[in-house]
Amino acid sequence: MSLAVINNQVEWNRFVLENGGGFLQSWEWGLFQEALGRRAYRYRVDSSQDGALKETVGQFLLIEHAMPFGRRYVYTPLGPVVAGAGYQRDAFRACAVTVVQAAQRLGAVFARIEPPALAGEQLTVQDVRRAGFRDAGQVQPRHTTIVDLTQDEEQLLKNMKQKTRYNIRLAQKKGVTVRSADLSNAHTYKEDVSRFWQLMTETTERDQFHAHEQSYYEKMLEVLSPRKQRDLKVQLLIAEYSGEPVAAALVAHFGDTATYLHGASSSRHKSVMAPYMLQWTAMQEAKQAGLRQYDFWGVAPEDAGDKHPWVGITRFKMGFGGQRVSYIGAWDYPTSKPWYGLYRLARRLR
């Protein structure tokens, strides 16, 4: 197997889309990571026969993350992407080896992978462990729910839970409207981004969860604006009631999938059910754009109890219908065992 550095955006995204990769392996996601100050590497894995290129086995976007004491680790979010239908075990093993080789060349403490494979169906825990990786739990959502947008709107509504349908109609009756952030005017767009951050700040304080820094969302919307990018686009949707922003969401479009990345809502006017109207509009817009599925991007495991921190948001997302999907999660390969041991110890002591 050999590693090749790819510098062609069209070629890169074509492979990702043709082989079931998601937006986190897109060329544009690498641009966003670079805008955050991280280094991004794009590698293609090729097999050869008698010294000649035989076929491309896979490719992966590798992001370098800083650690204390000048150390670093590398991470391929929801990757590597492997060639062919499903998630081939032989292709995974070849890609896993090359990810580790790349990490060693870069002097990383460890390499983290996150195969976009269905747990137990396309790849097993034993497959990953045999490649020398250790379970790292969850980085990106390990469990999610995906709605099939190829159905007509009437069927989509029918597949929702009765309470969700009721809340959508209530929001419509109350006059909740949803709009995209204004891209035509830099000043008004900046105001819309500021409104999103205000709602996010309120939401994190109310619901006691961790959010990214404000600059993270600003960079995402700047770099992945629909005005700038072709394949991966992130739009900001704002729900308003009587002219007041009461909910907002960041939704990514890539390939045939829309993904609900981040959301926030106000404690004011909760009775108008704006978040329901917001999600329904996002689904409608994705369907109108020709996308085939809507990924709610993170729910609690199916066997989670009532005390799971995601129980409320899971109930909300599952109300829109869709199928649960579970992936195999994140896995680490230590390339420096002493430093990796210190890293794991520090994580346990937090």
pLDDT at 271: 95
pLDDT at 48: 67
pLDDT at 51: 56
State whether 197 and 294 are in the same domain: yes
State whether 295 and 332 are in the same domain: no
10-residue averages of pLDDT along the chain (350 residues): 84 96 97 97 83 79 96 97 88 94 97 90 90 94 96 97 98 97 88 95 88 94 90 97 96 98 95 97 98 96 84 95 94 96 88
State whether 114 and 206 are in the same domain: no
For the chain, how many structural domains are there in total?
A: 2
State whether 158 and 213 are in the same domain: yes
Q: Which two tokens stand for residue 259?
A: 């993904």
State whether 202 and 279 are in the same domain: yes
State whether 42 and 178 are in the same domain: no
Radius of gyration of the chain (CA): 21
State whether 83 and 222 are in the same domain: no
Q: Which two tokens stand for residue 173?
A: 């009756």
State whether 321 and 333 are in the same domain: no
State whether 33 and 165 are in the same domain: no
State whether 288 and 336 are in the same domain: no
The whole-model pTM stands at: 0.94
State whether 132 and 109 are in the same domain: yes
CATH code assigned at 212: 3.40.630.30
Q: Do you find a cis peptide bond into 80, omega within 30 degrees of 0?
A: yes
Contact 63, 43 (CB under 8 A): no
State whether 265 and 301 are in the same domain: yes
**Residue 328 burial (10 A CB sphere; 0-12, 13-18, 19+):** buried
- Which domain covers residue 15, as residue numbers? 2-139+328-349
